[in-house]
Structure formats: structure tokens, C-alpha cells
Amino acid sequence: MASQLTCTGNDKEWNHGYEFIRKASSFSSSPSESSSSSSSNGYDYIIVGGGTAGCPLAATLSEKFSVLVLERGGVPFTNPNVSFLENFHITLADTSPTSASQCFISTDGVLNSRARILGGGSSINAGFYTRASSRFIEKVGWDSKLVNESYPWVEKQIVHRPTFSAWQRAARDSLLDVGVSPFNGFTYDHKYGTKVGGTIFDRFGRRHTAAELLATGNPDKLTVLVYATVQKIVFDTRGTRPKAVGVIFKDEKGQQHHAILNNDGQSEVIVSSGAIGTPQMLLLSGIGPKEDLQKLNIPVVLDNHFVGKGMADNPMNTIFVPTKRPVKQSLIETVGITNLGVYIETSCGFGQSNDSIHCHHGIVSAEIGQLSTIPPKQRSIEAVQAYLKSKKDIPVEAFRGGFILSKVANPWSTGELKLVNTNVEDNPSVTFNYFSHPYDVHRCVEGIRLATKVVQSQHFTNFTMCDRQTTEKLLNLTVKANVNLIPKHVNDTQSLEQFCRDTVITIWHYHGGCHVGKVVNPDYKVLGVDRLRVVDGSVFPESPGTNPQATVMMMGRYMGLKILQDRLGKFDGI
């Protein structure tokens, strides 16, 4: 029981006083009994996934219509592993079935995570908040006026100014020193140069997630069920076009339920399960490549071979920064937005709590699967466990330091997602094909060169009290940083191209799989079927801004307002 509480949090006031959040087993097949908000026929909107986009979307739609949110995970409010910055790594290190994160390994060999908790990625990420570029907003065809109303709606509720540690200050000064200028100060906006962005951690280190945006919803029209694992979307295929009529989900006790839509032709199932979960859900529901579905005996609702295609993940590589000075844990606060097609960020230190894994390496620690110093194909859960076991006796001082992170902004390398079975709780097979396109390798090399200059800057050497290291020494330090006691691939640090390929990790910004024009239309309605829409990062052609969570939350609010406007007209304050 103790281990379960560690993963899921205390049961006392588990729903944070939100009466509309209930456990899935409380659901009644008759919506009128399950929620005062629903008509006798069903719900106006069923949202599959209470994540970064799903929560603001649900809150907005509930202003006028009955909404049912089905979230497969639990709540973030009473889970200390989720709530506090110092415990950031614990959830990602937890591979148990009750963890707020679900580990997966792409076929490339890179360890990754997907959220399994109300609030989605905002409940397990590093907290950095920064808006998309105006170019991105224009590229995806959004109404800039509505966008600029939707971002502040999020920011006023859950976004904070970071405390801005001495480490981050050294990073800022070093970025400016190596030419990533001008300094744009504290801003949410995406501007070339160096800036300090927002964070969803307050000054006490407590996380504020997308789940808190539900507080603005209409409690009389909103029902949020946690531990509700949707098995598939149900369609009526008797007409000329299939139409979504509801979903089938299982509760925490394993009982199956059928939630149905209102008979109104404008009611919709909206899938907001993220870039892994959404294409997986469409495939499990019979929308995808006919031949792949038939192999798994999934009845074909719509043959669309683009579902799951075009998956991308922004590759990240790091440079280890040794220090003789004690450093306080710091996640992302400063970012260098370069004209090289890379973003430079930094994190340092590690948190310690009674439940934590000691001597971890912060945001790129082996404990959370970021074995950057082992080539991708050799990474595994077993390798992580072997490493953890081997380093327990190493003194904390050996792990003091931080990392400069270099992220390729808009990867040209893409892959695909495929089902391996029909169990929604199992991960699909995901391939990102990191660095398969030479342009990505070129940008990574430029990023590593820049990151190395940042570490070599006088501002960092003064702060760390370490002598300026040669590029080769820094790369070798990075190669050895995490894996002193287990066999490792010997990198040719003369070759930055090889260094990029061998040390690639994720920063969890994967996207794609349900692209506009191929799987959904510009309003994100699924092509070829009625009453089904997608609202999340699976529709993105690239990851917005330096870090996507701000735009994903804004998208939930934006699309909620768009749907209300389209359905009701631009009146009554909408």
C-alpha cells in the first residue's frame, strides 16, 4: 500500500475540492444519473484525455454544453512526486503501473515518457512556459486575435515568474557572451536572442498544472472521470459516412462502460490523448491503414494510411558542466533562441527527498532513462537499473554539476507509430528516425559547438570555479558523466556528428501522427467521419516555441472558443 501511495498520492481530498472530478467507477450508463449536466440522450462533448489540451478545452466547452472528460490516470493534486519541483525526476523514474508517467522506448533506442495523469504533460514536465513564434501561429492558420486572448487566460491562472537562480544567471550571461543576443528580459514571447521565460512552478516550488484550469469550468455541466481508460471510439456505420456516437471505457475496477453522445448532430467525441495516445486511439477504433488493422482483427471504419505517420521528436544533446561550487536544483528558466535552428537551455543540481533516488543528474539523469552516454540501441530499462545499482556507493559530490541542453528546433527527420496489439494500455511501436536527415545532424553540430562555447565562457568558469576546458575534454566529460561504472561505447569525440548520434536523448517534445490535410481538416475534424475531432500536439507540423506546453494549453482554450463560436455564433461573450 505504501508504494502505491508513493505513486498516486494521498487519498485525502484527492480531488482538490473539485466535486466534478470523480473516479470512473462512479459512472452510470445513464448520463442523467451520472451528471446533472447531461441530457437524457448523452453528452454534448466527450473528451478522451484530460491532459494539457483536454483540460482547458473541457473547461471552455462546459461554459455552454455538457462535457465528459475521460482520463486514464489519477489526479496530480495530492501526489508529492508531481507537485514539487525537487521531486521532478521521481515520477519519470517510476516505471510502475500506477506512475504518472508511462515509459516507452522508441525503436531508435531512445527512452521516453508519456503522461498518465490529469493535466497530462504539464503534470510531469520541467515546467518551462514560453509561447510559440508568430511564424508558427501563421503556419497553422490560427486567428492571431483569438490566440492572443487565449494565452493570457492560461497565464493568469497557473504561470509564474521563475526565481532565477545564479546558475541560470551564468547561463544568460554566457549566452550573450557567445553572441545569442539581444537580451529580451523576462518574456513569454518567442524572440531571437536570450530570454527568461515563465514557469508553472511557483516561488515555493509547487507545480500548477493544466488540471487547475478545470476550475474555470461550469461544475453543473462538467464531469471529469479519472482512472477511465478508453478502449475505443464507437461509430454508427449505417449511413454514407461513419459517425462517432460514443466511447467504451474501463474503470479502475476493470468494469466496462459505454458513454454516449447527445443525438444532436453537432455533438462530438474529441480526442486529446497526445501525440502517442491519439493516433493509437484512432487505430484501435478502426481508423488507419486497412492492412495493418486487419492483421490485428480490428474492424475497419475508415482506411487512412496517414494515421500515425510523420511522427517527429526534437532531438536533444547535452554538454556536462562540472562545478566545484554547490548548486541548487534548477530546471529550465533561460533559453537562447538562435538563428542556427537550435535552442540552448540549461538545468542543474538535483533534489533530495525521502522518496527520491539519490545522486541523480537532474533533467538528463540516467534515473529517468536519459542514458545519453550509451548509444541509443544499447539503452534499456535493464541498463538503467544496472546503472542505478552500480552507483549507490558513489559520493554525491561526484555528481555535482549541470547540463547545457541543445535542442534541434524543427526536425526534418520523421518516423511513424504502429500498433503492436489491441491493448490500449500497452505502448504502440514508435519510430522517430533521429538524425536520419543530414540537416538535423548539421544543426546538432552547430548546437554542440555553441553549447561548448557557453560552458567555456568566463561567466560559467567564474561561477563553477573550474578551469576553462577544451572542447574535447568537455565532450569526454559528457560521455563519462553518467556511466562511470558500466560498459560504454567509446565515442570519437573528434567527430561531432558521431557525438550527436551517440548521445541523442529526448526532451519529450514529440508531435505529429494526425497531420492536417492527411488525418484531420484545418478545424481538426477527422477526415472521412462525422462527429470526431482531434485537439492536441498530434496535429502539429512542428513543436511550437522552444517548449510546447504553453501553446498546447492555449490550443485547448482556443479550440474551445472556436467550437463555441462556430456552434453559437459570436455573441453572449464568446
pLDDT tens per residue across span 230-239: 999 999 999 9
Task: Name the residue among 255, 231, 280, 224 with its Cα closest to residue 51.
Answer: 224
CA distance 291 to 277: 21
Q: Which grid coordinates belong to 105? A: 522506448
Active site residues: 509
The pLDDT mean for the chain works out to 88
Q: Please tell me whether 508 is known to bind a ligand.
A: yes
Q: pLDDT per residue over 437-446, tens digit each?
A: 999 999 999 9
Of 289-298, 325-334, 391-400, 497-506, the range with the highest mean pLDDT is: 289-298
Query: Is 549 flagged in the annotation as binding?
Result: yes
**N-term to C-term CA, the chain:** 47
| Annotated binding residue 71 | yes
All three cell numbers of 37: 449536466
Residue 562: predicted pLDDT: 97
Rounded to 5 degrees, what are φ and ψ at 221? -120, 5
Q: Residues 285-311: pLDDT tens digits?
A: 999 999 999 999 999 999 999 999 999
Question: Mean per-residue pLDDT for 211-230?
Answer: 97
Domains and CATH numbers, the chain: 20-25+43-160+206-312+416-434+511-569 (3.50.50.60), 163-196+315-409+435-503 (3.30.410.40)
Residue 14 labelled as part of a binding site: no
The full 3-state SS of 171-192, as one line of letters, equals HHHHHHHCCCCCEEEECCCCCC
The arithmetic mean of pLDDT across residues 347-376, rounded, is 61
What distance in Å separates the CA atoms of residue 228 and residue 54, rounded to the nearest whole number?
14
CA distance 464 to 99: 35
Nearest by Cα to 519 from 299, 280, 315:
280
442 is in an annotated binding site: no
Confidence band (pLDDT; 50, 70, 90) for 186? very high
Q: Does residue 31 carry a pLDDT above 50? A: no
Grid cell listed for 246:
460514443
Quote the pLDDT of residue 546. 96
Three-class DSSP labels, 290-330: HHHHHHCCCCCCEECCCCCEEEECCEEEEEEEECCCCCCCE
Residue 484's alpha-carbon distances to 91, 372, 390, 403, in angstroms, are 24, 13, 9, 17
Of the listed ranges 85-99, 464-478, 516-530, 550-564, the one predicted with least confidence: 464-478
Among residues 569, 567, 41, 571, the alpha carbon closest in space to that of 266 is found at: 567
pLDDT at 491 over 60: no
| 153 known ligand binder | no
Say whether 230 counts as a known binding-site residue. Answer: yes
Q: Is 207 annotated as a binding residue?
A: no
Q: Specify the range with the lowest mean pLDDT, choosing from 107-121, 142-156, 486-500.
A: 486-500
